[in-house]
Amino acid sequence: MNVAPPSVLDTELFELPGGGRALFTGRAHGNLSSVGGEHAGQGPQARERLREALGVRRLVRGYQVHGTVVGRVFADGERPGPPNALDHLDSARQPTFEADGHAVATPAVAAMVLSADCIPVVLGADGAVAALHAGWRGLAAGVLEEGVRALREVGGKGEMVALVGPCAGACCYEVGEGVHGAFGGAHRNGRLIDLRAIAHERLLAAGVTQVRDAQACTICDERFFSHRREGARAGRQAGLAWIAQ
């Protein structure tokens, strides 16, 4: 699908199995964080505009801590965490549930993660979708593998497709020996590392049938926010996945 709703023009909507949809936002959508980066005070309004444009009832996200916890939202609306947590997850509220992603089986509820160099990954299978935030720590610790498990647990069946979104690219992402060591020196080119390639390998090894890319390096492509390039001024873009009604 290449035609987006009017408020997300010039951004590709991706099709996922079973009626799923996915989107990666950029700078043009505004800073979707309300705690970091320039114009963070306008983050709730930016998220609400995006929610309305996509035609979903809620945006489900967690407080991201570079970990491996992935929340589950089942088809009946159940979600592990605080009582009635799903009722309190909307565009205006700050999440209190620590999670670096969600798997969702409820139609018209979009899983959302925020990033500004880390890898946003979306998953889709018949009956469920997921959005995952994979910084290098979470990637090394297994957040993608946990996302695959979560997708199956909430009811995702059959072929699983992954989309790897805009992130720090192998062209620009210089890291220290600690990061290279966390991946055993894999996909190293001097001080540069290709986390996208590592994500591909881990997704396929976890049972994903097909891995696709929304190719862009957030560090050198100014259509996107980049913490490495902009520091504390950097806003946050999103990776989202939902099941269309």
* Res 87 pLDDT > 60: no
| pLDDT value at residue 92 | 61
pLDDT category at 91 given cuts 50, 70, 90 is low
Contacts of 190 (CB under 8 A, 6+ apart): none
Helical (H) or strand (E) element with 203: helix 195-205
pLDDT digits (tens, 9 = 90+) for 41-66: 999 999 999 999 999 999 999 999 99
Q: Which domains does the chain have, with CATH numbers?
A: 6-243 (3.60.140.10)
| pLDDT value at residue 94 | 78
Contacts of 108 (CB under 8 A, 6+ apart): 55, 56, 57, 58, 242, 243, 244, 245
d(CA 226, CA 236): 8
* Res 4 pLDDT > 70: no
Count of CB atoms within 10 A of residue 51's CB?
19
pLDDT digits (tens, 9 = 90+) for 101-142: 999 999 999 999 999 999 999 999 999 999 999 999 999 999
- Copy the structure tokens of residue 166: 């805009």
* Res 86 pLDDT > 70: no
Q: State the chain's mean pLDDT as an integer.
A: 90
| pLDDT value at residue 215 | 84
Backbone φ and ψ of 47, nearest 5°: -70, -40
* Res 1 pLDDT > 70: no
pTM of the model: 0.92
Q: Residue 143: exposed, middle, or buried by beta-carbon count in 10 A (0-12, 13-18, 19+)? A: buried
| pLDDT value at residue 219 | 98
